Amino acid sequence: MHAIQFNGVSIVTRPNVYFDGNVVSYTILLPDGARKTLGLIRPGSYHFNTDAPERMDIVGGACRVTVDGEGEARSHAEGSQFQVPGKSGFLIEVDEGLCQYICSFMN
């Protein structure tokens, strides 16, 4: 996949660190007020809760995702995306390497 570039953004330099450093992201603020996070997920299984609806774009590596309330995990490779409703959650599993993502908050 080709690189994605965001112009004119502000970056929050303090990282968001989850699960003992196995998931790390940085927040970017776009000129229109939108907020995104860019992050890496190491191998493992991690559950996240959502406040606002989210779209996750997988920009490197691969993962399996089970959205709360959906019974089966779905595989996502580089170039794919999935959405999670607000006030919900999801389980994300990475078998090997790093899964790289861009999370867009859809409020």
Give the model's pLDDT for residue 4. Answer: 86
How many Cα atoms within 13 Å fall on the side-chain side of residue 62? 7
pLDDT of residue 85: 96
Tokens encoding 40: 């890496």
Alpha carbon of 101 to those of 3, 23, 37, 82: distances in Å?
Answer: 12, 11, 8, 11
- In the prediction, which pLDDT does 1 show? 60
- The fold adopted by the segment(s) 11-105 is Jelly Rolls (2.60.120)
Consecutive sets of 10 residues in the chain, 107 residues long: mean pLDDT of each? Answer: 85 97 98 96 98 97 97 96 97 98 92
* Both structure tokens of 89: 């959650």
41 pairs with which residues across the strands? 23, 99
Q: Supply the pLDDT for residue 3.
A: 78
CA–CA dist 78, 1 (Å, integer):
7
Residue with tokens 């399996």, as numbered in its chain: 64
Query: pTM, whole model, 2 decimals?
Result: 0.94
Residue spans of the domains in the chain: they are 11-105
